[in-house]
Amino acid sequence: MPELPEVETIAASLRRRIVGWKIDKIEVFLPKLLRKTDVAGLRKFKGKKIIGLRRRGKLLLIACENDLFLLFHLKMTGQFHWTIAGAARETHTHLRISFKGRRRELCYRDVRKFGFLRCLATPSPLDCEELRALGPEPLEMDGRRFPDLIGRRKGRLKSLLLNQSFLAGIGNIYADEILFESGLQPLTSASSLAGKDVRRLWNAIQKILMRAVAAGGSSIRDYKNADGLDGHFQFYHKVYGREGLPCSRCGSPIERLAIGGRSSFFCPRCQRKK
DNA sequence: GCCACTGTTAGCAT
DNA sequence: CATGCTAACAGTGG
């Protein structure tokens, strides 16, 4: 489920609570949740204090003492939630972290079981394969570099925005909203863009992602932050999930196309193909 | 019951 | 490299 704004919101909601807490134990109920990690690796976290949380792309990194890190990818349906020690495990809960001297326990639940946790013991966690493969952070990169970044790319804009090695963190919802905001049709090839299109695309990326983060992300189906709260950017979607409904700008019915196996929603009038 | 669909992405064929 | 298909998995809605 979660794309950049949702993971950012989850990171913030977790950070508010657990920074400074000491891990007591990490229990795993679904072995395949662990990637390149075993239970012995998890034991190293016992007694370690959590010192920070950050997001990179759609990945969440929890930093602990002694160069230890927990790297989560929530994929489609991963969620964090809190329970009280001793409470029964809720369905689809695959991991539980308890903390020294705290009654609250942090649980990870994932209906479709696509997500993973990898433990890292290194002073340079950003060098792991998962993070190295990512392109720049869209909200941190210098916009003056964007024309060069996109200039060397081919292929359709929709697929390019979903490509995590191009920019990190954009998924299906925000790709569609960004393209609507830019006035660009999803099948447009990246190499056909004029300078002003590139600027519009960059501005749309900034605007949509910043607003979505400010709104706490989009709750369509499952997404909640770690405190169980919904985001509200779904109320501002202009195209995603709106097939057949009138465009908010021109009134034309929103259309849907499958591009690379993903649904793509767009306005046929406001988003003309180049 | 069957089929299509879902916020992700790795792997493999073309 | 780009694109397209499949699979990982479970649930929902028509």
- Asked if the Cβ of residue A209 lies within 7 A of any atom of strand B, the reply is no
Q: What mean pLDDT, rounded, does chain A reach?
A: 95
Give the pLDDT score at A229.
Answer: 94
| A58 in active site | yes
pLDDT for A49-80, tens place per residue? 999 999 999 999 999 999 999 999 999 999 99
Active site residue A262: yes
The reply to whether A222 has its C-beta less than 7 Å from any atom of strand B is yes
pLDDT tens digits, residue range A104-120?
Answer: 999 999 999 999 999 99
pTM (predicted TM-score)? 0.97
Flag residues 127-146 of A with CB < 7 Å from strand B: 130, 133
Q: Of A45, A42, A117, A51, which is closest to residue A78 (Cα–Cα)? A: A117
Residue A2 annotated to the active site:
yes
Residues A173-199 as b/e (b if ≥16 CB within 10 A, e otherwise) read: bbbbbbbbbbebbbbbebeebeeebbe
Give the confidence band of A38 by pLDDT, cuts at 50, 70, 90.
confident
Domains, chain A: 4-132 (3.20.190.10), 143-266 (1.10.8.50)
Q: Report CA(A102)–C1'(B14) in Å, whole number.
A: 55
What are A15-35's pLDDT values in tens digits? Answer: 999 999 999 999 999 999 999
Task: State the average pLDDT over residues A136-157.
Answer: 94
| Distance between the alpha carbon (CA) of A18 and the C1' atom of C8, Å | 31
Q: State mean pLDDT over A178-193.
A: 95
User: Nucleotide C10: nearest residue by CA–C1'?
Assistant: A112
By C1' distance from the Cα of A163, the closest nucleotide is B9
Residue A274 confidence (pLDDT): 74
pLDDT above 70 covers what percent of chain A?
100
Q: What gap in Å lies between CA A246 and CA A218, rounded to an integer?
A: 20
Strand C nearby residues, CB < 7 A: A 32, 75, 91-92, 111-114, 153-156, 159, 189, 259-261
The answer, yes or no, to whether residue A144 has pLDDT greater than 80, is yes
> What average pLDDT does range A154-178 have in this prediction?
95
A3 is a catalytic site residue: yes
Spot the catalytic one: A153, A156, A262, A268: A262
> For strand C, which nucleotides have at least one atom less than 7 Å from a protein CB?
1-11
Q: pLDDT, tens digit, for every residue of A201-256?
A: 999 999 999 999 999 999 998 899 999 999 999 999 999 999 999 999 999 999 99
Q: What is the mean pLDDT of residues A151-167?
A: 94
The pLDDT value given to residue A30: 96
Within 13 A of A196's CA, how many CA atoms are on the CB side? Answer: 2
In this predicted structure, what is the pLDDT of residue A1? 74
Confidence of residue A158 (pLDDT cuts 50, 70, 90): very high
What per-residue confidence (pLDDT) applies to A40? 85
- Which burial class, exposed, middle or buried, applies to A15 when counting CB atoms under 10 A from its CB (0-12, 13-18, 19+)? middle
Look at residue A273 in the predicted model and tell me its pLDDT.
83
The arithmetic mean of pLDDT across residues A158-174, rounded, is: 96
Share of chain A above pLDDT 90, in %: 94
- Determine if strand B comes within 7 Å of the CB of A114: yes
Spatial separation of the C-alpha atoms in residues A107 and A117, rounded to whole Å: 13
Q: Which nucleotides of B are covered by protein (CB under 7 A)?
A: 5-10
What pLDDT, on a 0 to 100 scale, did the predictor assign at position A152?
86
